[in-house]
């Protein structure tokens, strides 16, 4: 039997005496966040724990099938928990409004795979070599010998699949396929997952994608591709912010492009940036860090303050500098 990190044993031991547990995730949750949260929450409930699941934002429609019992709720103040577990959140700030509601706790556990994780909890299991937090949750359940039901397998397979770009990103390792295979053995419904996550986009998202293809820009010898998503674009297409998930991959896939960037208007002087890199020589985590953000080598983000065009100029300049240094 393969050995596992000692931190897993410490987490299992820490969870044993606790009864009331809150599982929290990051703002704008993606497949890895929801899959890890709900999968872990189901497993803890099966162990007789009283489990609450909190997110600032609701579950994206395409992931609602993972949470038929609507475990994921908005946070409430004045609740006390024996233990709070954060999944897939690289920093305490990424928890958003949830952060202010989880102070009354005995223990705080942080399980994540982002290299930029700030290790903000009492127990921190941060493993950047894993392509998804879903893989860490699988290893935790396996080490604890807790049953992985088909519903839990659906959650964790979705987590692994979405955070690896359907096993296309360079973060995908042999162990990623091993975990995915084990989850299929345990009943993950591949047909339903693929249909819900990848084959059922609303018309509003297609309209938003049409906007992307009509308005994206190429600069720096076509090595940088970027586009803006303004509030007016969402209003005009009828799209929600959930619909913007994955749009960056369409411009990242253009052959000469090395770095893709999305600028999303959050407020008059607030912009959300998402960065993707196709080159091992360009670490977008380092670029995002210059603007107070973080993530992975090939995928990262930040929320810099400032006027939109000023933010665009500074971010594009930082990308150009990284590309020129990598020559």
Do residue 69 and residue 90 come from a single domain? yes
Do residue 11 and residue 135 come from a single domain? yes
Q: What mean pLDDT is predicted for residues 170-189?
A: 95
Residue that terminates a domain, selected from 138, 173, 198: 198
Do residue 248 and residue 141 come from a single domain? no
Cα–Cα separations (whole angstroms), residue 11 to 85, 91, 113, 120, 122: 10, 19, 16, 15, 10
Do residue 284 and residue 163 come from a single domain? no
pTM (predicted TM-score):
0.91
Give the CATH number for residue 218.
3.10.310.30
Q: How many CB atoms lie within 10 A of CB 42?
A: 27
pLDDT 10s digits, 207-239: 999 999 999 999 999 999 999 999 999 999 999
pLDDT value for 170: 82
Cα 236 from Cα 256, distance rounded (Å): 31
Do residue 168 and residue 51 come from a single domain? yes
In a domain, 215, yes or no: yes
Q: Look up the domain containing 169 and give its range.
A: 6-198
Q: What mean pLDDT is predicted for residues 302-312?
A: 95
Residue that terminates a domain, selected from 168, 198, 228: 198
Q: How many CB atoms lie within 10 A of CB 187?
A: 14
pLDDT 10s digits, 189-212: 999 999 999 999 999 999 999 999
pLDDT value for 2: 52
Give the CATH number for residue 104.
3.90.1640.10
Q: What mean pLDDT is predicted for residues 59-81?
A: 96
Cα 136 from Cα 155, distance rounded (Å): 13
Residue that terminates a domain, selected from 198, 218, 235: 198
Do residue 115 and residue 31 come from a single domain? yes
Do residue 54 and residue 128 come from a single domain? yes
In a domain, 263, yes or no: yes
Q: Is the pLDDT of residue 167 over 50?
A: yes
Q: What are phi and psi of 110, to 5 degrees?
A: -125, 115
The full 3-state SS of 205-217, as one line of letters, equals HHHHHHHHHHHCE
Contact 131, 176 (CB under 8 A): yes
Q: Is the pLDDT of residue 162 over 60?
A: yes
Q: How many CB atoms lie within 10 A of CB 147?
A: 12
**What is residue 276's three-state secondary structure?**
strand
- For the chain, what is the domain count? 2
Do residue 151 and residue 282 come from a single domain? no
Cα 171 from Cα 296, distance rounded (Å): 9
Cα 307 from Cα 297, distance rounded (Å): 27
**What is residue 305's three-state secondary structure?**
strand
pLDDT value for 5: 79
Do residue 172 and residue 210 come from a single domain? no
Do residue 192 and residue 230 come from a single domain? no
Q: Is the pLDDT of residue 280 over 70?
A: yes
Q: What is the mean pLDDT of the chain?
A: 95
Pairing mode of beta strands 81-87, 123-126: unpaired
In a domain, 1, yes or no: no
Do residue 46 and residue 76 come from a single domain? yes
Do residue 191 and residue 230 come from a single domain? no
**What is residue 326's three-state secondary structure?**
coil
pLDDT value for 1: 40
pLDDT value for 222: 98
Q: What mean pLDDT is predicted for residues 34-47?
A: 98
Element (H, E) at 234: helix 231-237
Q: What are phi and psi of 20, to 5 degrees?
A: -95, 120
- Per-residue pLDDT band at 3 (split at 50, 70, 90): low
pLDDT value for 265: 95
In a domain, 20, yes or no: yes
């Amino acid at each position: 039997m393969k050995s596992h990190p000692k931190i897993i044993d410490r987490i299992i031991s820490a969870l044993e005496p606790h009864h009331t547990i809150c599982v929290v995730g990051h703002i704008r949750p993606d497949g890895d966040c929801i899959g890890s949260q709900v999968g872990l929450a189901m497993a803890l409930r099966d162990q007789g724990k009283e489990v609450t699941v909190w997110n600032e934002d609701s579950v994206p429609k395409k992931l609602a099938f993972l949470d038929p019992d609507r475990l994921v709720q908005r946070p409430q103040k004045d609740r006390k928990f024996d233990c709070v577990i954060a999944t897939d959140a690289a920093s305490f700030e990424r928890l958003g409004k949830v952060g202010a509601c989880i102070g009354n706790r005995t223990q705080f556990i942080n399980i994540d795979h982002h290299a930029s994780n700030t290790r903000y909890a009492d127990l921190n299991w941060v493993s950047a070599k894993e392509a998804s937090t879903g893989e860490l949750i699988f290893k935790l359940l396996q080490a604890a010998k807790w049953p992985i039901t088909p519903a839990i397998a659906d959650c964790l397979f979705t987590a692994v699949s979405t955070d690896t770009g359907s096993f296309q990103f360079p973060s995908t390792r042999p162990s990623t396929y091993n975990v995915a295979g084990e989850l299929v053995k345990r009943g993950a419904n591949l047909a339903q997952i693929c249909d819900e996550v990848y084959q059922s986009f609303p018309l509003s998202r297609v309209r938003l994608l049409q906007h992307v293809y009509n308005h994206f820009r190429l600069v720096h010898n076509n090595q940088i591709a970027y586009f803006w998503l303004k509030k007016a674009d969402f209003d005009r297409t009828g799209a929600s912010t959930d619909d913007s998930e994955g749009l960056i991959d369409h411009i990242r896939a253009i052959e000469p492009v090395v770095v893709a960037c999305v600028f999303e208007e959050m407020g008059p002087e607030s912009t959300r940036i998402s960065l993707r890199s196709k080159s091992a020589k360009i670490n977008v985590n380092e670029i995002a860090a210059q603007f107070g953000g973080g993530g992975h080598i090939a995928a990262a983000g930040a929320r810099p303050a400032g006027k939109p065009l000023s933010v665009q100029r500074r971010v594009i300049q930082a990308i150009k500098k990284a590309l020129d240094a990598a020559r």
